[in-house]
């Protein structure tokens, strides 16, 4: 069942089409093509709960639902808390 999530970083929003069976790493690989940042430099956080998403777990396992807002942080040394407007 296709769904989409909104990945936000600062004032930019990426609409990512995905399936609940995809892993966080799958989403990071989709983002890699859009933002030219390797997946290991990305950290995704479910904004509703402030939970950092685990690369190896599926979206369904982490309770990421259709139209969820996910914050994106990029590594520059340590990860920073994503600023989402």
Q: Which domain holds residue 64?
A: 3-74
Is 62 part of a structural domain of the chain? yes
Is 65 part of a structural domain of the chain? yes
* Domains contained in the chain, number: 1
Residue whose C-alpha is closest to residue 62's, from 72, 49, 75, 74: 49
The model's pTM: 0.87
Looking at residue 80, its pLDDT comes to: 56
82 pLDDT band, cuts 50/70/90, is low
Whether the predicted pLDDT of 78 surpasses 70? no
State both tokens at 38.
């390797």
Is 16 part of a structural domain of the chain? yes
Whether the predicted pLDDT of 2 surpasses 80? yes
Whether the predicted pLDDT of 27 surpasses 90? yes
Residue 9: strand, helix, or coil: strand
Is 10 part of a structural domain of the chain? yes
Whether the predicted pLDDT of 84 surpasses 60? no
Is 81 part of a structural domain of the chain? no
Is 84 part of a structural domain of the chain? no
State both tokens at 32.
């890699």
* CATH number for the domain harbouring residue 25: 3.10.20.90
């Amino acid at each position: 069942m296709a769904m989409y999530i909104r990945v936000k970083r600062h004032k930019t929003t990426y609409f990512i089409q995905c399936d609940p069976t995809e892993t966080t790493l799958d989403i990071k690989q989709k983002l890699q093509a859009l933002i030219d940042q390797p997946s290991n430099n990305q950290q995704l956080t479910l904004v509703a709960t402030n939970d950092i998403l685990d690369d190896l777990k599926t979206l369904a396992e982490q309770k990421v639902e259709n139209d969820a807002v996910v914050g994106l942080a990029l590594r520059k040394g340590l990860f920073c808390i994503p600023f989402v407007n």
